[in-house]
Amino acid sequence: MPENNLPAALTDETIISKIYYVREQKVMLDRDLAELYGVETKVLKQAVRRKIIRFPEDFMFEMSKEELEDWRSQNVTSNPADIKGLRYSPFCFTEQGVTMLSCILNSERAIAVNIQIIRIFVRLREMVSAHKDILLKLEQLERKVTVHDQDISMIFEALKQLLTPPQEPRKRIGFRRNNERDNG
């Protein structure tokens, strides 16, 4: 499939900016996918509804009204045009749902966009996997530092005790001469 079937401004960054976290999953919204595929949102939704059996809950779900309000407050800019398509709860497509869309939207552009989206999802997964090792090492280092901090605190406490003069006079140690016994 030639790359020239993609819209001119369709960069990886453009696609990544359209991936959101909803219900602790990476998803893309129906309106964003429709824009990328060059179709109207209602056309995309109608196609999905006609083949709804292809979209189980782990492939696609509809945002609840509460999720939509929360999402709007966190993600929608002050640009009123950006609210377009958000009058109704959007369909949220997981990576598998985006893949399934290629089965019901057969235009060359939709297929080319889908391939690019899937490649980005794969790269994101690889990045997370690669960074898990780093996160694990940081957690181990943090645990070590915490233990060392406790050890260092104990050392400073012992040093303070050694440097603080005793509260009561200490008895002298050693032999006493006869004249010292009478004075001490």
Comparing 19-23, 76-80, 86-90, 113-117, the range with the smallest average pLDDT is 76-80
Confidence of residue 101 (pLDDT cuts 50, 70, 90): confident
Cβ neighbours around 18 below 10 Å, total: 17
**Model pLDDT for residues 106-122, shown as the tens digit of each residue:** 788 888 888 888 888 88
* Cβ–Cβ under 8 Å, residues 79 and 14: no
pLDDT for the residue 10: 76
Q: Of residues 117 and 70, which shows the higher confidence score?
A: 117
Main-chain phi, psi angles of 9, to 5 degrees: -95, 15
| Pair type for strands 25-29 and 91-93 | antiparallel
What number is the average pLDDT over the span 45-67? 91
pLDDT for the residue 78: 47
pTM of the model: 0.61
Q: How far apart are CA 179 and CA 137, in angstroms?
A: 69
Please report, rounded to a whole number, the percentage of residues in the chain having pLDDT higher than 90: 17
**Model pLDDT for residues 125-175, shown as the tens digit of each residue:** 888 777 777 777 777 777 777 667 777 777 777 777 766 666 676 677 777
Cα dist from 18 to 22, 30, 65, 108, 152, whole Å: 12, 10, 20, 21, 48
* Cβ–Cβ under 8 Å, residues 104 and 36: no
Q: How far apart are CA 32 and CA 39, in angstroms?
A: 10
Q: Of residues 53 and 158, which shows the higher confidence score?
A: 53
What number is the average pLDDT over the span 50-54? 92
- Residue in this structure with the two tokens 């060392």, named with its chain if needed: 148
**Model pLDDT for residues 20-38, shown as the tens digit of each residue:** 888 888 899 999 999 888 8
Computed over every residue of the chain, the mean pLDDT equals: 78
